[in-house]
Amino acid sequence: MDLELFQSELADIIGVDEGTIHNWECSHVRPSMMFILKIIEFLGYNPLEDDLNSSYPIYMETFGDHIRKKRIDQGITQRNLAKSMGVSIDAIRDWEKGRTKPLPGYKIKIGHFLGYDPDDCHR
């Protein structure tokens, strides 16, 4: 995409300063989760889907993949999701990595967050 925008113009659109845009473009740092959704809206697609080295789930193989994808797509941090679910950030990390599975009561909350039951996708 070549819109011929100055870094300062893009910075205003995304809500950061010009130096941040420079650092993202030069791969000095990756955008924080709070800006991912704004970047997706600006681009019109999710660039993380193209990054095979990222932890963005491309194939929805596990319960945790569903949680992580929705969380990233919505620009929600693990910390904020944990707070809204009433669990620790470690619980969110463990669910996303497949180390543990949520208890039934949390599966219901996750289903509401996702808008569907991921168990129905893997039977």
- Specify the CATH number for the domain of residue 86: 1.10.260.40
Question: Has residue 55 been placed in a domain?
Answer: no
**Domain extent for 41:** 7-50
Whole-model pTM above 0.85?
Answer: no
Distance from C-alpha of 43 to C-alpha of 52, rounded to nearest angstrom:
18
- 36, 71: one domain: no
For residues 46 and 67, membership in a common domain is answered with no
Question: Are the beta carbons of 118 and 63 closer than 8 angstroms?
Answer: yes
Q: Are residues 91 and 114 in the same domain?
A: yes
Residue 112 lies in a domain: yes
* 49-100 confidence digits (pLDDT tens): 654 445 777 778 888 889 998 888 888 889 999 999 999 999 999 999 889 9
